Structure 1
Amino acid sequence: MNYAIVFRLLSYILFCEAALLLLPAIASLCYGEWSVLGVFVLTAALCLVLGLLLRRIKPSSKVFYMREGFATTALSWVVISIMGAIPFVLTGCIPNPVDAMFETVSGFTTTGASILPAVEGLPKGVLFWRSFTHWIGGMGVLVFLLSLLPLTGGSHVNLMKAESPGPQVDKLVPKVQSTAKILYGIYFALTVLEFLFLLVGRMPVFDAMLTAFGTAGTGGFGFKNDSFGSLSPYIQWVVTIFMILFGVNFNTYFLLLLRRFRRAAASEEVRGYFLIILVAIGIITLNIHGMYDSLGVALRHAAFQVGSIITTTGFSSCDFDLWPTLSKEVLVMLMFVGACAGSTGGGIKVSRILILGKTLGKELKQALHPQVVAPARMDGKLINHETIRATNVFLAAYIFIFAASLFLISLDGFDMVTNFTAIAATLNNIGPGLNQVGPMMNFGGFSNPAKLVMIFDMLAGRLEIFPMLVLFLPDTWRKF
């Protein structure tokens, strides 16, 4: 393990967070929240000092391999979460450090699960920081640094593989640094576009910014206690559309920019993603239309919640915990499917679901006809053994963590639906679940140990599990 280069990268992370903390400080300044302003400035200064201390450790080599990539990624997310929780504690908004850590990790991992029973009374600066953590974590702070850092030894791609969601990371252009710039460019452009559409709907500037942050990062923190229930149908449709757009593989947008429309349309994952959405909306609309004044209203709520859950955003336009069992079952299944690989969404990912389905079909054919070669293909390309193995290992680790987490939080005594959907919501980075963690409820009733379990789940879900598990392997920390 090259400890010095890991510490050097952590110093860059702290410098970056110090700069980002100045934005909620500016929001506090604009609204005259002087004590809150002081807290954000103090936290930024603390990040800067710690970054300077780590910066003094000089690496003898800048070579950076996968082991350092996993360790740096996991430690970076832990560090930014700890530092990001400080303003919640010092302002008194969330005095319990575990609760503050839960809220911050939920923000950075774009989960949107909250321990707060009400948010409308929070200071504007705190509300800004709370939603801005979604935007920071959506694409990943390390992906942003990739476009700036001079690293060697395949370091850029090792960091991107460790942080970017999905079974594989493709370089859009020959240089990984350029790929990172393109990804953030698309991310920023879509965020601004949604912000403008929200302004057209006469949404206040501050509220439009928070909504755009949450939608872009597929986060879910709202600025109203009822999330989007009291907002206009226009706003709800705009958010629905952009939630779904942010769940698309960003490689597709790059191909569209290059006018490679045929190649973009050939993506089986993207086509499968939209097909799942359409089918789910259709089923839920027909199932709930009797609960609303018209089919159009039922369609709007169904589309909003399907888009929110499959992209793991976690916004709500109504209390879907009151829907019929069929509709809730569809939403729970969407929690596990998730969005596309290479998007800001969480979950298992549509690409993995397709790979598992194609692998199952291949095995069934070979069971019937042992002599027949039946290769599995995706987008016309052969799915290699390494991809299938990685998908199977991911699923095994996912099931193990899910089962262990479910057992541990069950000690709090909540019902099984609450526990099951709480783990599904945190491990898949969704936000709301059902029953005691439903869209109009919160996670505040869980004990501190249970919250720590779910904090780990949120980090593991955002980082595709392996970087967090690698931290517990002794070999990770040995010098070779």
Structure 2
Amino acid sequence: MKYSVIIRHIGLIIAIVGLAMLAPVHISLINREPYVPVWIGIAAATTVLGLVLFLAVRVRETIGYREGFAMVTFAWVAATLFGALPFWMTGAIPGFADAFFESMSGFSTTGASILTDIESLPRSLLFWRSLTHWLGGMGIMVLFVALLSQLGAGGMQVFRAEAPGPITEKIKPRISETAKILWLTYVILTLAETLLLRIAGLDWFDSLTHTFGTMATGGFSTKNLSVGAFQNPAVEWIIIVFMFAAGTNFALYYTAVKKKSLKNFWHNEEFKLYTSITLGAILIIWLILAAEHGFFKAARLASFQVVSIITTTGYATDDYVLWPSMATGVLFLLMFVGGSAGSTGGGMKVSRYLVLLKHSGLQLKKFFHPRAVFSLKVGGKSYPEDIIISIFQFFFFYIFMVITGTVIMTGFGLEIKSAVSAVLATLGNIGPGFGAVGPMENYAFLPDAAKYLLSFFMLVGRLEIFTVLVLLLPSFWRK
């Protein structure tokens, strides 16, 4: 293990987090908050420490698989630790376990919160809270790869360790160019949504913070009642569209612009399945809610909550826990799905379900044609056997962690519905769940040990299990 390589590049991530804190410093100055000295101190100390680590360790060694996994995991933990300092040192969140939970929820784009009165926080902290979403959405390590083109082949190891989905898709031959294109797409969509929300009636602050939560599929809001507080149908429809866009593979946007055609969306099997699941769920819930809420309002409520859950955003416009059982059942099942591979959405990913469905179909064919040789193809490309095996392994570990986590959470006093949804909501980076952790509730009542456990699930879910769990193997650290 090349520890010097890991330390050097984690230092750069810490510096990036420190520089990002300059934005809330500006917000604090504008609003004449008493926290300006605290913000400046934390931002300066974080940036300097990061640069010292980066510049003090000068190495030209390549990044291998082990360094890539270790670097990504420890970089996320470091970003979370330093990201928690503003919450803790301003006194807005007195307990460090709570501050760490909120920071991890932000960077991992989970959206689970321990705050009981969000609107009482100063604007600078609300902005930082949402900014952690935006940084974690496309990935702090993807940004790192985009900034350091000299990483060469090592950049691919880092990219693979963080990128969502079973296969890492390269848009350009050089992985640094791919990272730049992904971030550029992310920024353009962010600007577009911010402008539209402003036109729809939100001020610039709420437009930007809610765009951060939307594009990162995170869900942190500046309001206690989330997006429902605005009572603005136009705002809700804009967020619905951009949540769905954020849950789509970002590579499809680049291909559409390059070829000047949208055909690649309709030819993409994962996008078609993602769209079908979303529309199917909306239709079912729409029909269930129509009798009580009316045709048009039911359509809006169903669309918002379905897209929010399947993309793992976690925004809410209604307390869906109070909906009829069948409607909440559909939402509960969507917690197992997630967005597309290559999107900012969390969860299991639609691409994995697509592979499983196709693999199951091939197994059925083999019953009738036992001597035939079938190849599993998605989008005209064959999936290697090792990728298929890794998908099955992913599902096993995912379900195993849900079961184990649920048992542990019941030990903290949660009833089964709240326990299982708390684990699903954090492991899937969704945020709100059902029962005691529903959309109008929070995680504040949990003991510190439970908060650290759920923070671990957020990290594991964001880095797709293997990147973190492989570090727990003793053989990983041996020469």
- Give the shorter-chain TM-score range: over 0.9
SS, match of residue 62 in structure 1 = coil
Question: Which stretch shows the higher mean deviation, 47-56 or 251-260?
Answer: 47-56
Shift of 1:150: 4.2
- In the alignment, which residue of structure 2 is the partner of 1:372? 372
What's 1:278 paired with? 279
How far residue 427 of structure 1 moved from its aligned partner, in angstroms, is 0.3
Q: Percent of aligned pairs with the same residue?
A: 42
Aligned to 2:206: 207
Deviation at 1:36, TM superposition (A): 1.8
1:361 aligns with 2:361: yes
Q: CA deviation at 1:390?
A: 1.4
Alpha-carbon distance, 1:349 to partner: 0.3
Q: Aligned letter for 1:165?
A: P
1:357 and 1:53 map into 2 onto residues whose CA distance is 50
Task: State whether structure 2 residue 265 is matched by structure 1 residue 289.
Answer: no
Q: Distance in 2 between matches of 1:177 and 1:8?
A: 18
Q: Which residue of 2 aligns with 1:464?
A: 464
SS in 2 for 1:6: helix
Distance across 1 between alignment mates of 2:439 and 2:47: 37
**Which residue of 2 is the match for residue 433 of structure 1?**
433
- Aligned partner of 1:256: which letter? A
Contact 1:255 1:264 in 2 (8 A): no
Residue 155 of structure 1 pairs with residue 154 of structure 2: yes
Tell me what 1:268 maps to. 269
> How far is 1:313 from its partner?
0.3
State the one-letter code of the partner of 1:278.
L
> Residues 108-123 of structure 1 correspond to what in structure 2 (within 5 A)?
108-123=107-122
1:41 aligns with 2:45: no
Cα drift, residue 122 of structure 1: 0.5
Structure 1 Cα separation of the partners of residues 69 and 23 of structure 2: 29
Amino acid at match of 1:305: Q
Matches of 1:274 and 1:12, distance apart in 2:
38
Report what 2:50 is aligned to.
51
> CA separation in 2, counterparts of 1:95 and 1:278?
43
Counterpart-to-counterpart distance in 1, 2:474 and 2:43? 33
Aligned to 1:230, the other structure's residue is in SS state helix
Task: Give yes or no for contact 1:102–1:451 (8 Å, CA) kept in 2.
Answer: yes
Secondary structure of the corresponding residue to residue 290 of structure 1: helix
Q: Distance in 2 between matches of 1:136 and 1:217?
A: 8
Structure-2 residue corresponding to 1:22? 22
For 2:258, the equivalent position in structure 1 comes to: 258
Q: Does 1:197 align with 2:196?
A: yes
Paired residue for 2:309?
A: 309
Alignment pair present for 1:66 and 2:65: yes
Displacement of 1:99: 0.7
CA contact (8 A) 2:12 2:53 kept: no
SS in 1 for 2:433: coil
Q: Which residue in the other structure is 1:100 paired with?
A: 99
Change over 3 Å in CA distance of 1:142–1:105 after alignment to 2: same
Task: Report the residue type matching 1:237 in the other structure.
Answer: W
Q: State the 1:164 CA deviation.
A: 1.1
In the superposition, the TM-score normalised over structure 1's length comes to: 0.97
- Which residue number in structure 2 is paired with residue 127 of structure 1? 126
1:86-136: CA deviation from partner (whole Å, max 9, x where unpaired): 111111111111011001000000000001111011000000001111100
Mapped contact 1:37–1:125 kept (Cα < 8 A):
no
How far apart are residue 326 of structure 1 and its match? 0.7
Q: Once the 2 structures are TM-superposed, how far is the Cα of residue 50 of structure 1 from its aligned partner?
A: 2.3
1:361-440 aligned within 5 A: 361-440=361-440
Deviation at 1:368, TM superposition (A): 3.6
What is the deviation of 1:151? Answer: 3.9
Name the aligned partner's letter for residue 411 of structure 2: L
Q: CA deviation at 1:60?
A: 4.3
The equivalent of 1:443 in structure 2 is 443
CA RMSD of aligned residues (A): 1.3
Q: Which amino acid aligns with 2:431?
A: G
SS in structure 1 of the partner of residue 335 of structure 2: helix
Which whole-Å CA distance do the structure 2 matches of 1:128 and 1:52 have between them? 24
CA distance in 2, matches of 1:27, 1:386: 49
Could you tell me how far apart the structure 2 residues matched to 1:261 and 1:304 are?
Answer: 24
- Which stretches in structure 2 are left out of the alignment for 5+ residues? none
Tell me the equivalent position of 2:10: 10
Q: Deviations over 1:302-322 (max 9, x none)?
A: 000011000000000111110
- The one-letter amino acid of 1:249's match is N
Distance, in Å, in 1 between the alignment partners of 2:9 and 2:43 is 17
CA apart distance, 1:474? 2.2
Q: CA deviation at 1:57?
A: 4.5
Structure 2 CA distance for partners of 1:223 and 1:147, relative to 1, 3 Å: same
Find the residue that maps to 1:336 and give its secondary structure: coil
| Aligned mates of 1:399, 1:10 — CA distance in 2 | 31
8 A contact 1:85–1:104 mirrored in 2: yes
SS of 1:265 mapped into structure 2: helix
> Please, what TM-score do these two structures have when normalized by structure 2?
0.97
When structure 1 is superposed on structure 2, of 323-332 and 398-407 the one drifting more is: 398-407
Partners of 1:37 and 1:362 in 2: CA distance: 62
**C-alpha displacement of 1:280:** 0.4
Once residues 347 and 121 of structure 2 are traced to their aligned partners in structure 1, the CA distance between those partners, rounded to angstroms, is 30
- Residues 337 and 350 of structure 2 are in contact (CA less than 8 Å); yes or no, is this contact kept in structure 1? yes
Matched residues in 1 for 2:334 and 2:354: separation?
Answer: 14
Structure 1 gap segments, 5+ residues each: none
Q: Which amino acid aligns with 2:83?
A: G
Contact 1:106 1:458 in 2 (8 A): yes
Q: CA deviation at 1:161?
A: 0.5
Q: Which residue of 1 aligns with 2:341?
A: 341
Separation in 1, partners of 2:30, 2:59? 45
Aligned to 1:143: 142
- Judge conservation of contact 1:65–1:153 (CA < 8 Å) in 2: no
Superposed CA deviations along residues 344-388 of structure 1, whole A, max 9, x for unmatched, are 000100000110111111122213431122322211222221220
Distance 2:264 2:297 in 1: 36
Q: What is the CA distance between 1:426 and its match in structure 2? A: 0.3
Residues 150 and 180 from structure 1, CA distance in 2 versus in 1: closer, same or farther, beyond 3 angstroms? closer
State which drifts further: 377-386 or 49-58: 49-58
Q: Does 1:78 align with 2:81?
A: no
AA matched with 2:28? S
Matching residue of 2:186: 187
SS of the aligned residue for 1:147 comes to helix
Q: How far apart, CA to CA, are the structure 1 residues paired with 2:197 and 2:47?
A: 35
**Paired residue total:** 477
